[in-house]
Chain A
Amino acid sequence: MTLQEKVGVLVRYCSQYQSHGFMMDERNTDRHFNVQLLEEKYIRDNIEKLKVIILTGEAGDGKSRIMWNLRSLLQQKGFAQPCEDFSALQEREKEEWIARLKGVLEGESSEKLIVLANVGVFTQAILKFSLDFMEELTRKREDVYICNFENRNLAGNKELFENIVKEFLDYEDPCANTECPCYGTCVYRQNIEKLLSASGIRAMRILCDSVYLTGGHITFRELLSLLAYTVTFGQDCEERRSRPDSGERMLYYHIFEESQDILLRKISWMDPGLERGGDEGAPDREAYRNGLRRAFFDAEQDSYGMLHVEYLKEFRQVLEHIHEPPYNFDTATDQNPLLLQLKKGINKMSSQGKKDTGLTVMDTPAIFDKKIRMEYLVTQDISMIWHRYDLQIGGEMPRKDVFWNKFYLSYLYEEKSGQKELISLLIDYHQFCFLMRCSYDFFMNRNGMSQEKYAVNAYYRKILSVKENAYDTVKVCFDDELGEFSDFYLTIHSTTDAFTGDVTQNVLIRKGD
């Protein structure tokens, strides 16, 4: 394939191009471009023990491609006719499929099943049919493989990502059209060369990884579309020749330009051109911005910090720390500076910025505003851990090749039965930013209840509810500017009559610190 032909193929992957629908056809007809995904490899390696395979995700995640690649193997291993689109089934058929799956999981059926589904539709059907079945499905079993592509990070595996970019963009012959006015200065060639270079692949991988880290998702089809757009900007050679002056604007680093396109917006908000640290001598703002964008693509090492994404670099560093054995870290003894900072943020948030140590939980009923608060003290020796998202008490060790974009802060306690339980606060990118901002004394509107603050409060209230006598002492705090009223403590005090053994209780009041 020549460069010109390659551009002709690539441009059809761009959503901006008129025949965007081609991509759907391309999935089914273009069998030349094929990269074995990790999920496919896993199924091939474990096919002997698998009885149920469920692939869920959004359109474009690559489910059908995997199915197409595995079809003959599945037939050979005795799998029933697959359910290739669960979403398209009638309600009754959905129920039948879930019953079949349930039968296999409960050992009542010897069928082998594979289901391809949209995760939302599939979850809805399961929840409608049986809640217990959801628990059963999410319990790890050797004979069940559930892959939710929504949680997959294509940029997570360096080798795979490199493979996809090279397979997708590589072409055999240079352009032979010497008549083309762009011959010798062709932006397509420059863009492909850049994207195939080590720094180019790294930059694209970091971009996709950042989407994942910040809670987004890029499907396989979107990745191809993004690569295609970075090379062609939605224009084929003919269109390009009609606008010879627009060459500079079609260089790869302009991928960050503002756009209405849903996919491009996943990238453009991270524009490194909005950061500081560019060339002060740049002639104008655009040159300054382009310099920063180019620098991102030319960076010699991981350049998360160059993106215009608050605390992204720090978030990744914390995740890297937590994804190393032993996968759980005591909050009191772990010395990771970022986790210490995060802890400071939690303390400041929960104690209204007045203290740096100890955990005070505000449990002011929602009926009231926060002008008079009720605070309860959780003692400092409380045992809490930072840990990996997939770490469970008594569960198996987490998989090394999975890198989650979230982690937990958990309180470990023992129930009366002796069973250990966790109360957990999920820390994803947004929660992380919120707590970091708290730690650095950013202005926070403490009257409003943001989702993040709500989560932290709910977490601490749950801890309070399992701690004995936690509600026996309350500090009543006034938020009045004039300082008219003093804070005070109320504490339940019990007295036992030495002679009768009767217990009486009253409340002691004393002035606050």
Chain B
Amino acid sequence: MGYILLGIFLLLTAIGVPVAYSLCLSVVVILVFFMDMPLVVVSQMMYSGIDSFSFMAVPFFMLAGAFMSAGGVTSRLVSFSQSLVGSFTGGLAQTVSMAGCFFASITGSSAANTAALGSTMINELEKRGYGRDWASGIVASSGVTGIVIPPSITMVVYGAIADTSIGDLFVGGFIPGIMMGISMMIVSWYLAKKRGIPKEGNFSVLNVGRAFKNSFFALLTPVIIIGGIYGGIFTPTEAAAVAAVYGIVVGMFIYRELKLKDFPEIIFQAVIGTTFIMFLVGAANVFGWMITNMQIPHQIAAWVMSITQSPIIFLIAVNILLLIAGTLVNASAAVVILTPIFLPVAIGLGIDPLFFGVLMVVNLAIGCITPPVGLDLFVASAIAKVPIERVFQHSMPYLWALLVVLVILTMFPWFITVLPNMLR
């Protein structure tokens, strides 16, 4: 029966039936032909999956990022990053990765991050002799930290599904996100040295101070979110609403680039983005109810443990699976579908759900630039108008660096758990 359920789901999905439909239809087949149960569970479980306060953080974080980027935050974060690292070898490329990290602390999605960086930085990089292909590779890779550094929509989704503290997940993503950013900056430095990109500009504390002042209100966003959640002032969902309203205030009244007429389109995009995730969450809730009913996660856990008792080997297998999954579907969607299957096994092997969640997110982030179909590659290719093959040819070195970070994180959970443990 379990094979029939999974078989129908995989078959329909492979043909191209929307994943949400195939999740529900495979459950329907089991209900109708193998169980004597009313079909009303389909609509009931779908409803109860969507009717969730935690998930409401998803559209709010989308709005916060969109309001701020329409408000002109990106260019200010870029100048701040440039004042810090612009004078090194390959400074402008490093600036992009660093600005990616800063922008990640406002937005919760890597595609949004790549899009924001791409629209401002690709031409700039080209002008300074990096070439359009390399520029698009840098931008695609620099976007990935979007879902690792808090706030993160993917972490909200994981937290709500796995019943893990969203605040802890957010804080747990900090060090991994910064490690990813630094690893990419090192790659840029090395490549720029090898390819003879001239150094430019001088480091000046005065510049840093001025740029910091300009981008202060943007940089304050993560402080408000994390501080508010850990200070017990608000829940993650309320934090997201506060961040969105803060985004409106900063964009409209401080930087004054956000206009009222931009609102409908920004909000509409958040509606579409939210539905994209939430309809799937509802359908996955139906499917999750069925597999739990049939004790499938339990069976998978028993099966995995009959092969290996080692958490590391399991994590390596999960890493590989997630890298593939991350290229096929959007990171949050992968979390929705795969968490109910992987998490019971992880817990069975004694792996901390918090550590597992952050690792999953890092993994799926890297999946965004894994060829042939990583999402960020497409975004960068569309913005730069560079064929996708050339984007991933140039994001390859960054991909390797990120994989090294992934291995380090897998071997040493400390990097992920240290901050949440300190704050808890």
B is a partner of A: no
**Residues of A participating in the B interface, judged by any CB pair closer than 8 Å:** none
**Residues of B participating in the A interface, judged by any CB pair closer than 8 Å:** none
